[in-house]
């Protein structure tokens, strides 16, 4: 037997499915603009970016985004440390608006970057008046905060930098990443409460999941909060591609995560903490930045959120907050010459392509892309057999010649138009022609970053 609330939930889901199918049928009967292959290429390549590096374990990266929401709720950022040989790559998937994801994408890298600076060096930098220094070289960053909010953020960052300086620790990278995540989330809360405005509150009340990779030499750390995903592509002894999933999605499909959240609240709430596969029946990710409507005490919500957003901002059965955390799950992997690339993406990609499919696609893209360039011999002595193998691989790559130079674009193209018979232009063109009020029913924002490792460097550094 089902309770009345369960019956209502089931009827609600059935109603959503009927509305979806009805909308789909109406849309398919409606003529839509036909996009040419050139039109499709233009749309898919609008946000793509590639960056090469010339030393260290990271050889290059490709990134791209395809919006579904307008404005797009996904964000991404990449940076290199100015005081170490490390690189940072992040993908951020926002919800309830783009504000939190946009802010996290720009600020989190700085919080991690300053954490990596040795305390003595950091102290000298701060004594020289470098509170606003980023400690990073950012790539493909074309957006700045408005002056009104920039000052608030700089004040918070300066406090964190000085805290690190006055409280030196021997923390490992995992702890540094955890502390940076939690400190930024806490700062977002304090900024909204101490400097309440439309901007600070919109960041605090919207939310974002995050997946950040820190790569320094052979050390790869992945810090994940929410349901973005990171996948490692490697080769086996026989040259076959191998897929390693480096993240766990923090959602209702993760049994351990559900048990963790339920255990943090009284037994009387075991049926309401996660209901309808969502936190308090509302939020899909079970960890996230922002979303302070699931973190603040009731009195703070009444004083700060209700006047602006209404009584509905307080969820049903909201008795023992916080119900949500930004605390990341950190994975450490030692890179070897067998590791070839890392894929980080929002769930807009993983909803339609499996980690194994993504790995295979990037592997094929690498093979095909190599054919497009002049053959280059390694910077070492090579045998005739090795040269013959390189020539054979180039011949193999000819049939896999990709449409896109950018591997992230290659993945997005296949996410939209892939089939058992290859890419279907009509399928891609259709999905890219969907009107604004319908597109979200068919696909989510997609953000992808593919990081390529220099296995020659790795082979000589181990």
pLDDT band at 126 (very low <50, low <70, confident <90, very high): confident
Enclosing H/E stretch for 180: helix 173-194
**Chain position carrying tokens 């020289």:** 128
- Identify whether the C-beta of residue 193 lies closer than 8 Å to the C-beta of residue 302: no
Top-confidence residue, 57 or 387: 57
Distance CA 381, CA 67 (A): 47
**Chain position carrying tokens 């020539």:** 391
Mean pLDDT of 299-306: 97
- Identify whether the C-beta of residue 241 lies closer than 8 Å to the C-beta of residue 235: yes
Distance CA 200, CA 195 (A): 7
pLDDT band at 380 (very low <50, low <70, confident <90, very high): confident
pLDDT band at 266 (very low <50, low <70, confident <90, very high): very high
| CB neighbourhood size of 423 (10 A) | 13
Closest-CA residue to 177 (of 60, 343, 333, 332): 332
Distance CA 323, CA 308 (A): 22
Assigned token pair, 312: 């509905």
- Identify whether the C-beta of residue 87 lies closer than 8 Å to the C-beta of residue 215: yes
pLDDT band at 297 (very low <50, low <70, confident <90, very high): very high
Instruction: Please tell me the number of Cα atoms within 13 Å of 78 on its side-chain side.
Output: 20
- Identify whether the C-beta of residue 261 lies closer than 8 Å to the C-beta of residue 279: yes
Virtual CA dihedral for 53, 59, 65, 71, nearest 10 degrees?
Answer: -40
Q: Where are the beta strands (DSSP E) in 29-73?
A: 49-52, 58-66
Mean pLDDT of 162-170: 83
Closest-CA residue to 263 (of 323, 316, 326): 323
> What would the pLDDT profile of 194-214 be if each residue is shown by its tens digit?
999 999 999 999 999 999 999
What pTM was computed for the model? 0.87
Which of 13-22, 124-133, 200-209, 434-443 shows the lowest mean pLDDT across its residues? 13-22
Residue 74 pairs in a beta bridge with: 93
Which residues touch 397 (CB under 8 Å, ≥6 apart)? 367, 368, 369, 370, 371
- Identify whether the C-beta of residue 401 lies closer than 8 Å to the C-beta of residue 366: no
Any idea what DSSP says for residue 300? H
| CB neighbourhood size of 317 (10 A) | 15
Q: What is the pLDDT of residue 128?
A: 75
């Amino acid at each position: 037997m089902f309770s009345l609330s369960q019956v209502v939930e089931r009827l609600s889901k059935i109603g959503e499915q009927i509305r979806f199918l009805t909308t789909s049928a109406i849309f398919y009967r409606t003529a839509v603009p036909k996009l040419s292959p050139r039109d499709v290429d233009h749309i898919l390549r609008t946000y793509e970016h590639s960056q090469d590096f010339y030393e260290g374990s990271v050889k290059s990266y490709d990134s791209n985004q395809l919006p579904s929401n307008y404005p797009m709720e996904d964000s991404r950022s990449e940076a290199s440390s100015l005081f170490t040989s490390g690189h940072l790559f992040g993908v951020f998937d926002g919800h309830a608006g783009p504000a939190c994801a946009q802010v996290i994408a720009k600020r989190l890298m700085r919080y991690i970057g300053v954490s990596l600076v040795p305390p003595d060096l950091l102290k000298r930098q701060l004594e020289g008046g470098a509170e606003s220094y980023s400690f990073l070289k950012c790539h493909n960053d074309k957006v700045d905060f408005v002056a009104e909010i920039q000052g608030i953020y700089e004040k918070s960052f300066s406090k964190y930098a000085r805290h690190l300086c006055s409280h030196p620790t021997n923390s490992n990278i995992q702890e540094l990443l955890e502390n940076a995540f939690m400190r930024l989330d806490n700062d977002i809360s304090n900024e909204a409460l101490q400097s309440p405005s439309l901007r600070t509150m919109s960041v605090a009340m919207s939310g974002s999941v995050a997946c950040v990779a820190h790569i320094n030499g052979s050390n790869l750390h992945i810090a994940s909060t929410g349901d973005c995903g990171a996948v490692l592509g490697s080769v086996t002894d026989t040259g076959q591609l191998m897929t390693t999933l480096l993240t766990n999605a923090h959602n209702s499909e993760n049994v351990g995560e559900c048990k963790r959240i339920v255990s943090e609240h009284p037994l009387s709430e075991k049926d309401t903490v996660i209901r309808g596969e969502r936190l308090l029946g509302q939020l899909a990710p079970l960890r996230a930045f922002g979303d302070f409507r699931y973190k603040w005490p009731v009195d703070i919500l009444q004083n700060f959120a209700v006047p602006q957003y209404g009584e509905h901002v307080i969820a049903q059965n909201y008795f023992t907050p916080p119900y949500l955390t930004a605390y990341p799950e950190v994975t450490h992997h030692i890179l070897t010459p067998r590791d070839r690339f890392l894929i980080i993406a929002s769930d807009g990609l993983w909803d339609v392509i499996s980690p194994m499919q993504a790995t295979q696609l990037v592997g094929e893209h690498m093979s095909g892309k190599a054919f497009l360039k002049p053959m280059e011999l390694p910077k070492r002595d090579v045998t005739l057999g090795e040269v013959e193998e390189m020539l054979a691989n180039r011949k193999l790559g000819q049939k896999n010649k990709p449409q896109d130079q950018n591997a992230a674009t290659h993945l997005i193209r296949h996410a939209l138009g892939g089939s058992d018979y290859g890419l279907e232009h009509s399928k891609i063109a259709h999905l890219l022609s969907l009107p604004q009020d319908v597109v979200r029913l068919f696909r989510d924002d997609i953000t992808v970053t593919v990081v390529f490792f220099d296995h020659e460097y790795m082979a000589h550094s181990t």
